[in-house]
Amino acid sequence: MRRSRLRTTVRVAAAAAGSAGLVAGGLYAVDAGGPGGPQEARLAGRADAGRAAAAAPRTTAADRAAALADRLGARTAGAYIDSAGRPVVTVTNAADAATVRAGGAVPKTARRSPAALTRVTTALRRSMGSVPGTGWAIDPATSQVVMWTDASVTGTRMAAARRTARQQGAAVRMVRIPGRLSARALGGDAIFGGGSRCSLAFNVKRGGQDFFLTAGHCGNAVREWTAGQQGGQVLGTTVESSFPGDDFALVRSEPGAAGEGEVNLYNGQTRDITEADEAVVGQQVVKSGSTTQISTGEVTAVNATVNFPEGTVTGMIQTTVCAEPGDSGGPLFSGTTALGIVSGGAGDCQGGGVTFFQPVTEPLEAFGAEVF
């Protein structure tokens, strides 16, 4: 499901235990030590900076870039939004360049072919396997594969990573990311179960029934979700979950528990989400979560491979959006478009970091569901 033109709304209500119709959230799943309290108050002011971006409508540049990249398929190394806000699509021949121009985007001749870049990612997967704290993705702007390592990769493992990168020459660019990668996340409007706290991403429908999406590493650990840490209203039951490999889960909502499809902007307003789509490199995006509330950033990679200590996931959206424990399973969106579900990351909202998201189009297709 590349471009899901589906009617949806996502609400991220404040992380109040016992509230009904919880709808969205953000990053890491941890033991439920309470919904944040003083930390949420401390972070509330920081959310103000992201509200203007959250209120901005989705641009059409990302739409054009994604549609054209989808059309070219294996003949492009990807698309991105440049510093001037223009959609750019990489090409390898004049015919495809003409197609891109006709579609309202800027063609850029790739320095390396899509096939060559795919061979590099295959080599990294073969050499690095599933080494925790590492990952990689194609950067369409530079025709390189960016390989990252976190703070846990040291000594012989760092030497092996550098050796692997050198073997690929200039086709690989190494990046160090702060902190340690983790897929243990919390987020958004808090949902509780089994001593853990995660977040509800998007309300969806399947076969006329109400469900909601959250992170797969949350769904693996919890069967029955409630609105409060000590129980209370039952929100739903996990019926399908996928992690590692992917990171998404489907929860059947209890009658009357499903909220409307709006995202809470934490300023007394909500955002009506009207469609779901693929993310594009360079796109400005927003995350809502119970710990860090609204935070904004930019998509830096798509189709990324991430080796979490808990397992390897592929096809992820990489962003500069910050998140912290309490934000897992929550929504990533741009304007009125749903894009992803918080999976995990490294760093925090004080020193900065990197956050990875499961593209929302994949679980929608896998579960035969629609956002509403």
Q: Tell me the per-residue pLDDT of 204-254, one tens digit each, with 9 for 90 and over.
A: 889 989 999 999 999 999 999 987 766 667 889 999 999 999 999 999 998
Residues 17 and 190 sit within 8 Å (Cβ to Cβ)? yes
pLDDT value at position 146? Answer: 95
Residues 91 and 110 sit within 8 Å (Cβ to Cβ)? yes
Residues 66 and 302 sit within 8 Å (Cβ to Cβ)? no
Residues 21 and 11 sit within 8 Å (Cβ to Cβ)? yes
How far is the C-alpha of 355 from the C-alpha of 353, rounded, in Å?
Answer: 7
* Residue 48 DSSP code: H
pLDDT value at position 50? Answer: 45
The average confidence (pLDDT) of the chain is 80
Q: What would the mean pLDDT of 88-110 be, rounded to a whole number?
A: 96
More confident residue, 290 or 118: 118
**182 pLDDT higher than 80:** no
pLDDT value at position 104? Answer: 94
Q: Tell me the per-residue pLDDT of 136-157, one tens digit each, with 9 for 90 and over.
A: 999 999 999 999 999 889 999 9
- When mean pLDDT is compared across 24-28, 82-86, 124-128, 282-286, the lowest value belongs to 24-28
pLDDT value at position 333? Answer: 94
Query: Counting Cβ atoms within 10 Å, is residue 350 exposed (0-12), middle (13-18) or buried (19+)?
Result: exposed
- When mean pLDDT is compared across 182-196, 201-215, 345-359, the lowest value belongs to 182-196
- When mean pLDDT is compared across 107-111, 125-129, 254-258, 259-263, the lowest value belongs to 259-263
User: Which of 335, 307, 303, 336 is closest to 317 using CA atoms?
Assistant: 303
SS (H, E, C) 108-169: EECCCCHHHHHHHHHHHHHHHCCCCCEEEEEECCCCEEEEEECCCCCHHHHHHHHHHHHHCH
Q: Tell me the per-residue pLDDT of 65-95, one tens digit each, with 9 for 90 and over.
A: 999 999 999 999 999 999 999 999 999 999 9
More confident residue, 218 or 129: 218
Bond preceding residue 244 cis, omega within 30 of 0: yes
Band of residue 173 on the pLDDT scale cut at 50, 70, 90: very high
Band of residue 129 on the pLDDT scale cut at 50, 70, 90: confident
Q: What would the mean pLDDT of 309-313 be, rounded to a whole number?
A: 91
Band of residue 273 on the pLDDT scale cut at 50, 70, 90: confident
Q: Would you please indicate which residues are annotated as catalytic (active-site) residues?
A: 217, 247, 328
**187 pLDDT higher than 60:** no
Q: Tell me the per-residue pLDDT of 61-71, one tens digit each, with 9 for 90 and over.
A: 888 999 999 99
**272 pLDDT higher than 70:** yes
pLDDT value at position 22? Answer: 23
* Residue 58 DSSP code: P
pLDDT value at position 53? Answer: 43
Q: What would the mean pLDDT of 266-274 be, rounded to a whole number?
A: 74
**54 pLDDT higher than 70:** no
Q: Tell me the per-residue pLDDT of 9-38, one tens digit each, with 9 for 90 and over.
A: 232 222 222 222 222 222 355 555 543 332
